[in-house]
Structure 1
Amino acid sequence: MSPAMHDRLYRPLSAVSAGSSVRLRDVCAGQKLEARLASLGFVPGATLDVCRNTCHGPLVVQVKGSRLMLGRGMADKMVVE
């Protein structure tokens, strides 16, 4: 687990309720996934609007004007504040 996850101000994107707006702090993943997410606009400092997050299944997140669906495993690797 990343040191950022230990601070209670930070949490995984998968734990954010729908309707919330958060800032991406870090992506705790391999280089390929980090590069793929960066190409979609998921870079540290980006504002993410969580449009849908149910108990199971993918999240719908708006970043830089685009709505994207993220798998829960991917969202678990994204640290937000």
Structure 2
Amino acid sequence: MSTLDQLQVGEKMKVNNIQKNSPVRRKLLDMGITPGVELQVTGRAPFGDPMEVLVRGYKLTLRKNEAMVVAGE
């Protein structure tokens, strides 16, 4: 199982879970990143942080520490 921050531009992932003890868990759930949803990395800043993700038809920008808590297949 990998985490969202490990994906390269163009790769997709289906969310399995979000770390339960993460301080950004509620924020990610509110933004539509829930178990079962498919995410695609559409861009990255030059040093890899932040990253742009396509989720539910809209683009979302996440910091690396936020993407690290999203696990999928």
Instruction: Tell me which interval the TM-score lies in, with the shorter structure as reference length.
Output: 0.7 to 0.9
Larger radius of gyration: 1
- For 1:43, the equivalent position in structure 2 comes to 34
Instruction: Give secondary structure in 2 for the equivalent of 1:37.
Output: helix
Deviation at 1:28, TM superposition (A): 1.0
Q: Which runs of 5 or more residues in structure 2 are unaligned?
A: none
Q: Which runs of 4+ in 1 moved over 3 A?
A: 29-32
2:22–2:69 Cα contact (<8 Å) kept: no
1:22-48 Cα distance to aligned partner (Å, 9 max, x none): 101111153652221111110000000
In the aligned structure 2, how far is the partner of 1:75 from the partner of 1:50? 11
1:72 corresponds to 2:64: yes
Structure with more helix by fraction? 1
Which protein has the bigger strand share? Answer: 2
Aligned residue pair count: 72
Q: Percent identity?
A: 22
Is there any run of 5+ residues in structure 1 with no aligned partner, and where? 1-9
Which amino acid counterpart does residue 20 of structure 1 have in structure 2?
Answer: E
